Structure 1
Amino acid sequence: MAGYGIADNATVASLNGKRASGRTALSSVTAAVITVTKLSHQAAASMVGCCGHTRDPDRIKTGEAAMNIALPAEGIDLSPYLPDEHGLFFIYHFKADGSRTTDPAEAHWSWRSYQITDMRARQEIGAEEALPAPVRDAFLSPSHGCQIDFEDDFLYGDLPDLRHDFAEARGLTHFRFAFNDRMLVGARKQPLESVDKIRKLVENGTRKFRTPAELIEAVMGQSLDGMAAELDKMGDTLDGIEDRIVCDAWHNERQALVDARRQLVLIHRQMATLTNLFRHLDHSHRNELPDPINDMATRLSHRAHTLHHDGEQLQARTRLLQDELMAKLTEQSNQLLYILSVMTAVLLPMTIISGLFGMNVGGVPLVDMPSGFWVVTAISVVIAAIVYMVVRRLGRV
């Protein structure tokens, strides 16, 4: 029993030593993790400073942490973005002369872009006291197509834009925004071509925006330019389809024409909506809109109306080409049906004669004649030739 006690004491001492070693190793690992974490935070802070990303002035005042806006260095394509912990893609500050600044204290106005489907972004926007309640409600409401309105010195809405060309499917999506003379808040679901182009101009410093209205006009101008380019592509596509239809090489053009018409319908519908929206904005808030916003709306409305007219012309071309293509198909079908009818008429006498001579009854003529088959064949051919000549005389061949 004493032996067992000694062995147990030795085992316990060994286990206690291992536990102490484990605790020492765990403490070392914990200290190393804390050190690495501190170094990573310092490196992240230095990277934020180098890239020019700044803290929100309101959060600096309240002592909250700055947004971690992970933007690479200048000259690198930043799209598609990954939103940070606030659902924010980026934030830019602009001086009064329109140049970009990294110091919020020097900023005359700022531009923020959010991922609208991110709940963190929706919470940030919903808690933004600078936005009036009607603007926040409209900003966070489900999208029901294009809209634009003016409320409490804020112009806000949901306008069309083209998805970026790196997206899986090319097409139209929407850009949601709200701005006054001090701030611009934007949001989107998918990468947008026009917003990304303007962002690159801001990153490179090649263009200055003195007010949010100038930036929104630039974004919408890029969007309209993109839609104009799409209309030009559709025009070239229709030219090729028309050439092939004229040259009777139209047999594979039906699906291409359907695709072109579907794309034109989408763009034309958006242009019609934009024209109506700007007209409604002018009629409803003509006396409330500041002069810069009123001038911007007038210019964009005129451009959208021009593209709307161009889209109508292309749609008229697609309808004409579709009518011509259907006429070609109808003509081909009629020719095939006519050939089938002629063959039926020509072979009908032979069918009748073969049916008569094929009856298993007594008294069938030419049964005992060695040349009876050839006589019946000659009679059938003569009758078929007479039928064919009659049809040809009627002018149906």
Structure 2
Amino acid sequence: MDIALNPEGTDLSPYLPDEHGLFFIYHFTADGARTKDAAAARWTWRSYQLSDLHARQEIAAEPKLPLPVRDAFLSASHGCHIDLEDDWLYGDLPDLRHDYSAEARGLGHFRFALNDTMLIGGRKQPLQSVDNIRKAIDNGARKFRSPAELIEAVMGQSLDGMASELATLGDNMDGIEDRIVCDAWHNERQTLVDARRHLVLIHRQMATLTNLFRHLDHAHRHDLPDAINDMATRLSHRTQTLHHDGEQLQARARLLQDELMAKLTTQSNQLLYVLSVMTAVLLPMTIISGLFGMNVGGLPLVDTPMGFWVVSAVSLLIAGVVYMFVRRLGRM
């Protein structure tokens, strides 16, 4: 894989920032091809490690960025947003963490700011979509004629990843449903809880993205260039579709959990019924044994050789009658 060059022409590690907190800097010609000649570039993509102090200092000192954009870029919070300031489109969008991340399979955040000639990106964790797009550029498989095209590709990759996660969760719920129907559900409770937790996280992000693109369309529709308007419309349709799919999976997960809880309740009721029957059957024998266990005079059958057997027979007879009575009540 090709390795990016920093402004001084030295190599950067594919996944580690340089002394300026810069992961890489790519230059693109007017036809979208990557070039190492900055003078021939139509636009530039710079990616920073936002947890690096030097990167934050460089972003803060960037003269082309409006003050609200810099503040949003360097904010400590991770609330998703997308907005327009002057000619800069900027925001904070969710993305799946990379497989080799220490917190893989979670969601990270990708911050960006773009105009016609520059795209500045930042992240704290390795992100799948950004690295996938970077590899495609390094391999010459993709060309991007504008920053908006690249952001749409990154978001498309992110949405593809979330769609894949939803498909995997759907397959997992298929298996859980099969096992519940076949009464092999005893180990499925935690699996279903984990699936619901992951589904809630993704669905929440889809709802947020849907609202963000709707806000962008309503608040800045007449201020955005046609290319960005078209990009926002396409991404909005995709997020709405995924949001709908997530809602369906959530409804299905709730139904499965309700069915699982119903089976757990049935099992608990059966156990309680057995305990109730045993308690009712043993209660007369307990009373009788308690009475004959009193160490007082006048107890019947004390001097009778068959006294023990008579008392045992009476106890068993009463227990049998109680058992038949309780069973009959249980069938009513």
Q: In the alignment, what sits opposite 1:120?
A: 54
- 1:51, distance to aligned residue in structure 2 (A): 5.7
Aligned pairs, number: 330
Q: Which runs of 5+ in 2 are unaligned?
A: none
Structure 1, 275-284 or 138-147: larger mean CA deviation? 138-147
The partner residue of 2:39 within 105, 112, 126 is: 105
- Indicate the SS of the match to 1:155: strand
Distance in 2 (CA, whole Å) between partners of 1:52 and 1:383 is: 89
Change in CA separation of 1:104 and 1:226 when aligned onto 2, cut-off 3 Å: same
Indicate how the Cα distance of structure 1 residues 251 and 52 shifts in structure 2: closer, same or farther if over 3 A, else same: closer
1:140 to 36, 60, 74: 74
CA distance in 1, matches of 2:140, 2:188: 46
SS at 1:313's partner residue?
Answer: helix
Question: 2:72 and 2:12 mapped to 1: Cα distance?
Answer: 28
DSSP 3-state at the match of 1:226? helix
Instruction: State the AA in 2 paired with 1:369.
Output: T
Distance across 2 between alignment mates of 1:125 and 1:336: 65
Q: Is the 8 A contact 1:54 1:104 kept in 2?
A: no
1:356 to 274, 280, 291: 291
Deviation at 1:216, TM superposition (A): 0.2
State whether structure 2 residue 193 is matched by structure 1 residue 241: no
1:259 aligns with one of 194, 200, 203: 194
Q: Distance in 1 between matches of 2:77 and 2:26?
A: 26
In 2, Cα distance between the equivalents of 1:68 and 1:322? 56
CA displacement at 1:396 relative to structure 2: 4.0
Structure 1 residues 137-170: Cα deviation after superposition (integer angstroms, max 9, x where no partner): 2111222310000111110000000000111222
| Contact 1:86–1:121 (8 Å) recurs in 2 | yes
Rounded Cα–Cα distance in structure 2 between residues aligned with 1:243 and 1:260: 15
User: Is the alpha carbon distance of 1:132 and 1:289 closer, same or farther for their aligned partners in structure 2, counting shifts above 3 Å?
Assistant: same
Larger radius of gyration: 1
Note if contact 2:6-2:12 (Cα within 8 Å) is conserved in structure 1. no
Task: List gaps (5 residues or longer) in structure 1.
Answer: 1-49, 56-65, 72-77
Number of the residue aligned with 1:156:
90
Do the aligned partners of 1:93 and 1:107 also contact (CA within 8 Å) in 2?
Answer: yes
Q: Is 2:241 aligned against 1:299?
A: no
Q: By how many angstroms is 1:369 displaced?
A: 1.1
TM-score, normalisation: structure 2: 0.96
CA deviation vs aligned residue, 1:322-357 (integer Å, no higher than 9, x gap): 111111111111111111111111111111111111
The yes-or-no answer on 1:345 pairing with 2:287 is no
CA distance in 1: counterparts of 2:40 and 2:297, whole angstroms: 117
SS at structure 2 position matched to 1:148: strand
Q: Distance in 2 between matches of 1:391 and 1:141?
A: 68
1:38-87 superposed Cα distances (whole Å, 9 cap, x missing partner):
xxxxxxxxxxxx967363xxxxxxxxxx264424xxxxxx3xx1111111
Match of 2:114 in 1: 179
Are positions 1:94 and 2:28 aligned together? yes
Cα 1:352/1:132, change in 2 over 3 Å = same
Structure 1 stretches of 4+ moved >3 Å: none
| Residue identity in the other structure for 1:70 | L
Trace 1:75-90 onto structure 2 (pairs within 5 A). Answer: 78=14, 81-90=15-24
Identity %: 77
User: Which one of 3, 7, 12 corresponds to residue 70 of structure 1?
Assistant: 12
SS in 1 for 2:330: coil
Match of 1:219, SS state, is helix
Offset from partner CA, 1:91-130 (integer Å, 9 cap, x none): 1100000011111111000100000111111111111112
| Alpha-carbon distance in 2 for matches of 1:236, 1:323 | 19
Question: Residue 68 of structure 1 contacts residue 84 of structure 1 at CA under 8 Å; is this kept in 2?
Answer: no
Is the CA contact 2:6–2:24 (under 8 Å) kept in the aligned structure 1?
Answer: no
Question: Residue type matched to 2:259 in 1?
Answer: E
Deviation track 1:339-394 (CA, whole Å, cap 9, x = no partner) reads 11111111111111111111222221111111110111111111111111112222
Say whether residues 1:394 and 2:321 are aligned partners.
Answer: no
**Paired residue secondary structure (1:168):** coil
The residue number in structure 1 matching 2:163 is 228
Q: Deviations over 1:14-51 (max 9, x none)?
A: xxxxxxxxxxxxxxxxxxxxxxxxxxxxxxxxxxxx96
Question: How many angstroms apart in 1 are the aligned matches of 2:126 and 2:218?
Answer: 33
Task: Tell me how far apart the structure 2 counterparts of residues 386 and 52 of structure 1 sit (CA, whole Å).
Answer: 88
Taking CA–CA contacts closer than 8 Å with sequence separation of 6 or more, which of the two structures ends up with the larger relative contact order? 2
